[in-house]
A and B are shown apart, each in its own frame.
Chain A
Amino acid sequence: MFLNIEVNNQIIKADKGETILSALNRNGMNVPTLCFLKELNPTGACRMCVVEVEGYENLITACSQPIEGFMKIQTHSKRVLNARKTNLELLLANHPDECLYCIRNGSCELQNLAQSFNINERKFKNKKFTLKVDKSSAAIVKETDKCILCGRCIRICDEVQDVSALCFIKKGSSTTVGTTLNKPLSHSNCILCGQCIMVCPTAGLHEKSHTPQVLEAMGNPKKHTVIFHSSSVSVSIAEEFGFKAGKDVSISLNSTLKKLGFNKVFEVGVASDIYLIELAEDIINRTQNKGPLPLFSSCCPAWIQFAEQYFPGILTSISQIKSPQQIMGALIKSKYADDLNLNNKDIFTISVMPCIAKKQEAIKGNTSISSFSDVDCVLTTRELASLIKIKGFKLDDTETQLSDAPFVNQSSASKLLGTSGGLTESLIRILHHKVTGKDINEIKQSKLRISKGIKEISVMLGETTYNFAVVNGIGNARKLINDIMSGKKTYHFVEVMACKEGCVNGGGQPLLSEKDALKSRIKAIYDSDEKESIKFPYKNPSISEFYQAFTKSGNKNILITNYKERTVLK
């Protein structure tokens, strides 16, 4: 039911029962928010969105007040502005003044707010800071002093991811955000998905930067630096350079990186193609050899971490095929090193991922059976953008270059791994070929291209109907696994991605992105699948060489990893 309400002397339409904030936003009116998170219940904690409503004694938070009848609202009256500004100044008094040295300088919501309120002098005396920083985790750094206690990280970790690694500790002015018993993050049940970083308005939570190591290696003439990037990075990194979301810059990124001075620049697609082919084989093997089924995907490291902590019983059901990142590293340090006559210790592999858990995956001992690490450093999309800027370049979208040899080509299917459902869609193409010997006619699986937490599809291949489930968001994964374990659901294959919508929304992606950026990134990935000529991994000419080598040695060990149970405070 529609209602009329009056906002700043102007009549607008509102749905009965919707919040003031939602009505304002729909009508193109803005009030500042800090603790508000779309799709989660409002908590009314930050008081930034307060508005003046006639008939109410106090200011009202727009995020939590439902509209039940006619209301007369002032969103920017003197009283409101003064209240917002004072509260902001209170926050600032409790925040270190080190913006210049802060990782979020320029992408900080608190800084932006301070700017928009034209705050240019300190009103309240600053408190003393302890600068306590928790660097224990492989991928996430927690800076307690920079936390403004908006509670977004806690809510996303609990309400969306259902992990609840973070919580409020103590009360009143001694409140902090921490883990159970305030232990270091590395001891906690954090799965490193990085969604907390994505919602953190300040640098209270941020990724552990690998940029210094990369710069160090680049400056070392003895090191042969090899960088490779994933498709989810190439559809999002342009945003960091002011382009509109949804611009796919994979080939111009190659040229930019080359200019930066890396010895080789690859796209991870080759490894993804191998991953997909191996995974398809795993499914067929398990289906023929009676399980264990379903087979779970292994490309998402946050998911692996989650399974190792919460579902040790299903570890044998997770494919032992390394993730594309680790396959790529392994290929570079074995076949590629041999071909170029390089000692693999002199090769420095840098992976660029939309993800922060990949940093953990790279150093996790059990992903490699060899004595060297497959991947030496992992940069997030954000870190790569900053590296490009450090090196004095910008993303030049006019120049283009293909991935270096020998990993020149990749199928468009490999790029789909960036979205939830894309992996399964590509897998179906391979399975179809493996079972029937023919290319699939309808390459698009529209059932998998919708935005939904849990998706299902059944495909008839040969005489068998294969059942697939696709899940994104680890909270949804927990639900689905419980259903599978209780026997309510049976599948052949389950694709799990820890972040909602998949890697396009990974913890390493650009911050403060524009509205609908996610949709645009997903569209860019599907568009390239449309455009590109190689649509099937098995048709990628770049991989045949590797398969010849595997066949020759009869050994695919470098593609295999293993998992073990992790005990944490959960």
Chain B
Amino acid sequence: MDNLIELILLKYPKNATENIIEILLQIQEAEGFISAQSIIMLSEHVGVQSSKIYSVASFYDQFVFEARAKFIIRVCSGTSCYISGSDTIISFLEKEFNIRIGEITRDHVFQIETKSCLGACAQSPVLEINGVFYSNLTPQRIRQIIHQCKSSLQ
């Protein structure tokens, strides 16, 4: 894991603060979240105290500091989706997985989040799972999507 971070850090010059966010994005991409170890390594690399790195990372919604589920279901809550019923989708998902928004299912497979606007207003309401967009969200369709995710694990 440390090697992975080292490889990422090697791509960037030392003591250059302008790369902090980009490096954090890459670390999260590689590890799934921002670990204490990666904060320390990054802080040494760019020559900025760890508290400042953490402060920056925690500012942006993008970064998380704990391991996440395999599938992150992001329901768009932009205005267009909101008025087209994104709340109903969220509560459907909450019931379906028996978790609240932001939480992770016990088996660490699913996690529900809202996203402020996915920019796909024409098809609203939409949701995104690990980078793939889904629209036309009826309960049956959502169940089907969830099923697809589950079966892709096997």
Contacts and interface: CB of A to CB of B under 8 A. Distances in A.
A170 B59 contact: yes
Interface string A179-214: 111100000110000000000000000000000000
A569 interface: yes
A171 B40 CA distance: 22
Contacts of B54: 167, 169, 180-182
Interface string B108-134: 000000000000000000000000000
Contacts of A158: 49, 52
Interface in A276-298: none
A163 B52 CA distance: 11
Describe B's contact surface by its main secondary structure. Answer: helix
A165 interface: yes
Contacts of B58: 169-171
B65 interface: yes
A134 to B, nearest CB: 15
B105 interface: no
Of the candidates A165, A170, A569, the one having the most CB atoms from chain B within 10 angstroms of its own CB is: A569
B44 to A, nearest CB: 9
A164 B59 contact: no
Interface in A151-171: 158, 163-171
Contacts of B138: none
Nearest to B61: A171
Interface residues of A, number: 18
A259 interface: no
A570 interface: yes
A188 B39 CA distance: 14
B55 A167 contact: yes
B83 interface: no
Contacts of A179: 51
Contact of B65 (A165, A168, A181): A181
Nearest to B55: A167
Contacts of B30: none
A181 B39 contact: yes
B38 to A, nearest CB: 11
A180 B59 contact: no
B50 interface: yes
A211 to B, nearest CB: 31
Contacts of B52: 158, 164, 167
A171 B36 CA distance: 20
A570 B50 contact: yes
Contacts of A181: 36, 39, 54, 65
Given A180-B39, A181-B39, A168 B50 contact: no
B49 A164 contact: yes
B123 to A, nearest CB: 29
A6 B57 CA distance: 45
Contact of A570 (B49, B59, B65): B49
A179 B54 CA distance: 8
A158 B50 CA distance: 12
A188 B53 CA distance: 14
B55 A569 contact: no
Contacts of A188: 51
A166 B59 contact: no
A570 B40 CA distance: 7
A9 B43 CA distance: 52
Most buried by A among B49, B51, B59, B65: B51
A169 B36 CA distance: 15
Given A180-B50, A181-B65, A169 B55 contact: yes
A102 to B, nearest CB: 27
Task: Name the residue in B40, B52, B58 with the highest tally of chain A Cβ atoms < 10 Å from its Cβ.
Answer: B58
Contacts of B39: 180-181, 569
Nearest to B34: A181
Contacts of B55: 167-169
Interface in B30-72: 36, 39-40, 43, 49-55, 58-59, 65
A166 B39 CA distance: 15
Interface string A134-178: 000000000000000000000000100001111111110000000
A437 B36 CA distance: 57
Contacts of A163: 49
B109 to A, nearest CB: 26
B62 to A, nearest CB: 12
Contact of A164 (B36, B40, B51, B65): B51
- List the 5 closest pairs (A to B, CB-CB), nearest first: A167-B55, A164-B49, A167-B51, A180-B50, A180-B54
9 contacts: A158-B49, A158-B52, A164-B51, A165-B51, A167-B51, A170-B58, A171-B59, A180-B36, A180-B50
Interface of A: 158, 163-171, 179-182, 188-189, 569-570
Given A181-B36, A570-B49, 6 more contacts: A164-B52, A167-B54, A169-B58, A180-B51, A181-B39, A570-B50
